[in-house]
Amino acid sequence: MKELGYFVYQIYPKSFLDTTGNGIGDINGIRKKLRYIKGLGFDYIWLTPMYVSPQKDNGYDVADYRKIDPLFGTEHDFDMLIKEATELGLQVMMDMVFNHTSDQHQWFQKALSGDQHYQEYYIWSESPTTWESKFGGGAWEYAPSVGKYYLHLFDKSQPDLNWENENVRKEIYDIVNYWIKRGVKGFRFDVINLISKRYPLVNGEGDGRLEYTDGPRIHEFLTDLRTNTFASDESILTVGEMSSTSITACCKYAGPKRDELDSVFHFHHLKVDYLDMNKWSKDHFDFEMLKDLFKTWQLAMQDAEVVDTLFWSNHDQPRIASRFIAATNAEEQLRKNKMIAMMMYLMRGISYIYQGEEIGMENLKVTSIDDLVDVESINYYNASTDSIADKLAILSQKSRDNGRTPMQWNASGGFSDSTPWLKQNENFTSINVDSQLTDTDSTYSFYQQIINLKKNDNVLIYGKIEFIDDPKLLIYTRTLAGVTYMVITNVWNEEIAYPAKFKNVIINNGCELSGEVIKILPFGSLLIEV
């Protein structure tokens, strides 16, 4: 399981670097920064969708799976990106969106104009179920030209594909093989555990998710997908994004036989600040839940020999630097950023770090709904009966756009010469790449240190993980061939004492080690050999 030591850098191209001056990041912007990414120690870059798309959901609404959207550059630019990345030792992972297409995809357009062959590519009903869309509202939309409703688990511009139809599955294999031929060495499959719907379609409980999550034919579909595509190349790394999944299902998706996927993303640990599982709530943090989730999932995945993934952020998440307990000054924030990195990336799994996390980029202060572009955020704003002030406060903590604001490259922003497609966080004057590159005590330098430390230490890559119960601290050990490391992390803005004994100190982030007990400052953390 050599991939346990891999580090993947996630790029959201629209917000990475604009080289044409149109306010939108592009492929040539990514090419310019490949050395920056390699310099941090990464093995892969994961690119979120850049295919032709009307951008209703920022590219997760694909209108042509084989074409790069001119918004991001040319086909040649893309080929050069693959070439240059590969030369630097960075493999390219593409994002494949196969639960749904855009309503602008020619399959759906043909379906709407009465072509029965293509109507069978989608899911239709005359009497829709009560399922809810993940973006709010109902999951069915009436198509007058067809006289039926079509299913859309996401936006109404994202009709769900009918995986029961063998023709659809074959189209998908062809698309994956097309990108393999172009030199892609990794795939992230978007909400892939939602593709098998349970028939006959019934309302089911609540929002209906049990009727299509980890559905009856999912393992068969994934095995067939693998056999017909990436099974041909052992070096291809796959990861499935799993929505509301279970440990049991994940142990099959990425089990030791590897006949489906190599690894999985699951999200329970990123809902510990949802009050009663409601995303649109604020000022909540359940530390016990976070601890239990890490322990339960890490141990279960280790026992089942499943490759887990380690991540705090992506383009759907608010910024981790701003989550959980707030820091009250810059010194605390820096310690918090370092603690956050140690807590996550020294566990067992492939690490995924999202652009900007390595410099501690923070959430936006949303002052008006006009600051935001994200369809999910706007739907929430329009549907919620909370006061405007509450809605803006909640969006400042939870909107997906918090994670999508343009990269902060230097003290003048550095993302684009013109107005960015999404407001840049005004704190770019103090939080930016330039100011951190040469500062050995910066968040950037710490991420670089952690990545290189882990990549060169088999204890941190393969070591057995065990958790030590503590009411206030999150503590775990990694052990291999008689060597044991301990990671101690304090998520609170208060000093905590812990009676640890150690042989060596590997990283000390804000701890006093001189007395009988270790004193851990607010947001402090420690990596020791015990």
Active site positions, annotated? 190, 241
Rounded to the nearest whole angstrom, what is the least distance from the CB of residue 314 to ligand TEU in the complex?
7
Q: Which two tokens stand for residue 242?
A: 């799993």
Supply angle C-alpha 405, 411, 417, rounded to 5.
65
Which is closer to ligand TEU, CB of 3 or CB of 316? 316
Kindly report the three-state secondary structure assignment for every residue of 339-368. HHHHHHHCCCCEEEEECCHHHCCCCCCCCC
How do beta strands 44-47 and 91-96 pair? Answer: parallel
Which is closer to ligand TEU, CB of 234 or CB of 276? 276
Rounded to the nearest whole angstrom, what is the least distance from the CB of residue 60 to ligand TEU in the complex?
3
Rounded to the nearest whole angstrom, what is the least distance from the CB of residue 404 to ligand TEU in the complex?
9
Kindly report the three-state secondary structure assignment for every residue of 403-431. HCCCCCCECCECCCCCCCCCCCCHHHHCC
Rounded to the nearest whole angstrom, what is the least distance from the CB of residue 342 to ligand TEU in the complex?
25
Rounded to the nearest whole angstrom, what is the least distance from the CB of residue 139 to ligand TEU in the complex?
12
Calpha distance 35→410 (Å, rounded): 17
Q: Which two tokens stand for residue 275?
A: 């009050």
Which is closer to ligand TEU, CB of 278 or CB of 419? 278
DSSP, res 48:
P
Single out the residue of 173, 181, 211, 184 nearest to residue 195, CA to CA. Answer: 211
Rounded to the nearest whole angstrom, what is the least distance from the CB of residue 188 to ligand TEU in the complex?
9
Calpha distance 473→109 (Å, rounded): 55
Q: Which two tokens stand for residue 324?
A: 């959980």
Calpha distance 218→225 (Å, rounded): 10
Q: Which residues bind ligand TEU (CB under 6 A)?
A: 57, 60, 97, 134, 154, 190-191, 243, 279, 315-316, 376
Backbone torsions φ then ψ of 36, nearest 5 degrees? -60, -45
Residues 6+ apart with CB under 8 A from 388: none
**The residue type at 328:** T
CB crowding 2-38: b at 16 or more within 10 Å, else e: ebbbbbbbbbbbbbbbbbbeebbbbbbbbbebbebbb
Rounded to the nearest whole angstrom, what is the least distance from the CB of residue 200 to ligand TEU in the complex?
24
Which is closer to ligand TEU, CB of 191 or CB of 473? 191
**CA-based end-to-end distance of the chain:** 26
Which is closer to ligand TEU, CB of 194 or CB of 487? 194
User: Do 159 and 209 touch, CB atoms closer than 8 A?
Assistant: no
Rounded to the nearest whole angstrom, what is the least distance from the CB of residue 182 to ligand TEU in the complex?
22
Which is closer to ligand TEU, CB of 158 or CB of 425? 158
Which is closer to ligand TEU, CB of 148 or CB of 279? 279
Calpha distance 167→170 (Å, rounded): 5
Beta bridge partners of 149: 125, 142
Which is closer to ligand TEU, CB of 121 or CB of 523? 121
Calpha distance 293→272 (Å, rounded): 9
